[in-house]
Amino acid sequence: MSSIRVWAAGQAGGALAPTTFDPGPLPDDGVEIAVEHCGLCHSDLSMLDNEWGRSQYPFVPGHEVVGRVAALGRDTHGLAVGQRVGLGWLSGCCLHCGSCTQGDHHLCRTVEETIVGRHGGFAESVRAHWRWVTPLPDGVAGSEAGPLFCGGITVFSPLVELGIRPTDRVGVVGIGGLGHLAVQFARAWGCEVTAFTSTEAKADEARAMGAHEVIASYDDAALKRAAGRFDLIIVTVNATLPWKRYVAALAPRGRLHFVGAVLEPVPVTAFSLIGGQRSISGSPTGSPATIATMLDFCARHDIVAQTEHFPVDRVNDAIQHLRDGKARYRVVVDIGSAA
């Protein structure tokens, strides 16, 4: 392919418009994916607006890609042309550092991000290193799978990495794009699940997704009653909350774990951690192996993202829909002709 059609913004916060670029020869270790669907994530908005100071323009969003393998470099493995696959936040790594050789490819110091310094998945096709391209198992619908490659793995990985047990009590803060998947995962994992939400209207939806209980995020009395209860609280929001109450809600050896990009400092005293041997941590996405495990888990337990679809010619409407906080709960842009 000599040129690829993409939907790009020419400046920070700008509207996306179709254009083309020449990607050059496909690297020997590269895979070209013909994009069928691509999720729209809040990280795409942050990059579009250059909130993190890392964006380059023209900027092509999209890091929740589902499509079919269109071409393979000569040094690729485990993939076939025509195979349905997905691609998430990361697109490459060195494969030889300590993190990579131990299976923690997502922690590689030279990891390549799909929409940082390169064009993302709002395109006819997108490229990545073969190690980060994951086949979809039977039972996972391609039209709905995109959000699993960012939102899904972000909340699934902590269950694996932190050794969460079916007997644990898990709290999920924020029932949105990440949180609604975290509730489903934790329930299918066998845990007792509590949803924390600031939106009363989401209480019934959270229960339908698997939450055993719902607590208002800012209800001081309810948070106080929950003291000493949770083995894990996953924070999926980027808002400031009464963090002292959430730390106090942890059981001995409990963990407050951040996957949402809370921008303000989280105040905590050493004694609030020392007494119960509690901890605070965070994590990014997951490794390729954990992504594959998550997809199998989704197929086994019929876990799907709740999505809203927009055709690619309405991509700017999709962005505004997400920007206005109206998404329930993940937005997917349909790009290719395949269903």
Residue 95 falls in which region: left (phi positive, over 0), alpha (psi -120 to 50) or beta: left
Contact between 247 and 280 under an 8 Å Cβ cutoff? The reply is yes
Q: Which residue has the tokens 């073969």?
A: 130
DSSP-assigned beta bridge partners for residue 106: none
DSSP-assigned beta bridge partners for residue 30: 129
Tokens for 337, please give them.
Answer: 């002709």
Q: Which residue has the tokens 């924020």?
A: 174
Residue 248 pLDDT exceeds 90 = yes
| Closest to 296 (Cα-Cα) out of 153, 132, 165, 89 | 153
Q: Which residue has the tokens 């909350």?
A: 241
- pTM here is 0.96
- DSSP E strands in 224-275: the ranges are 230-235, 250-258
Buried b (16+ CB within 10 A) or exposed e, 32-59: bbbbbbbbbbbbbebbbebbeeebeebb
| DSSP assigned state of 26 | P
Over residues 120-129, the pLDDT tens digits come to 999 999 999 9
Over residues 92-101, the pLDDT tens digits come to 999 999 999 9
According to DSSP H, which parts of the chain are helical? 42-48, 98-101, 142-145, 151-161, 179-189, 203-209, 220-225, 243-248, 270-274, 288-301, 315-323
Virtual CA dihedral for 44, 50, 56, 62, nearest 10 degrees? 0
Distance (Å, whole) CA 139 – CA 300: 8
Residue 314 pLDDT exceeds 90 = yes
Buried b (16+ CB within 10 A) or exposed e, 209-242: bbbbbbbebeeeebbeebeebbbbbbbbbeeebe
Contact between 307 and 144 under an 8 Å Cβ cutoff? The reply is yes
User: Checking DSSP bridges between strand 192-197 and strand 213-216, what pairing results, if any?
Assistant: parallel
Give pLDDT, residue 200.
Answer: 87
| DSSP assigned state of 261 | -
Distance (Å, whole) CA 247 – CA 233: 9
Give pLDDT, residue 337.
Answer: 58
Residue 339 pLDDT exceeds 50 = no
Peptide bond into 329 cis (omega under 30): yes
Query: Count of residues for the chain?
Result: 339
Average pLDDT on 265-292 reads 97
Over residues 138-161, the pLDDT tens digits come to 999 999 999 999 999 999 999 999
Q: Which residue has the tokens 């589902």?
A: 66
- Report the amino acid identity of residue 194: T
Over residues 20-55, the pLDDT tens digits come to 999 999 999 999 999 999 999 999 999 999 999 999
Over residues 165-218, the pLDDT tens digits come to 999 999 999 999 999 999 999 999 999 999 999 988 899 999 999 999 999 999
Q: Which residue has the tokens 């794009």?
A: 177
Tokens for 190, please give them.
Answer: 């066998």
Contact between 251 and 226 under an 8 Å Cβ cutoff? The reply is no
Give pLDDT, residue 18.
Answer: 98
pLDDT, averaged across the chain = 96
Give pLDDT, residue 1.
Answer: 52
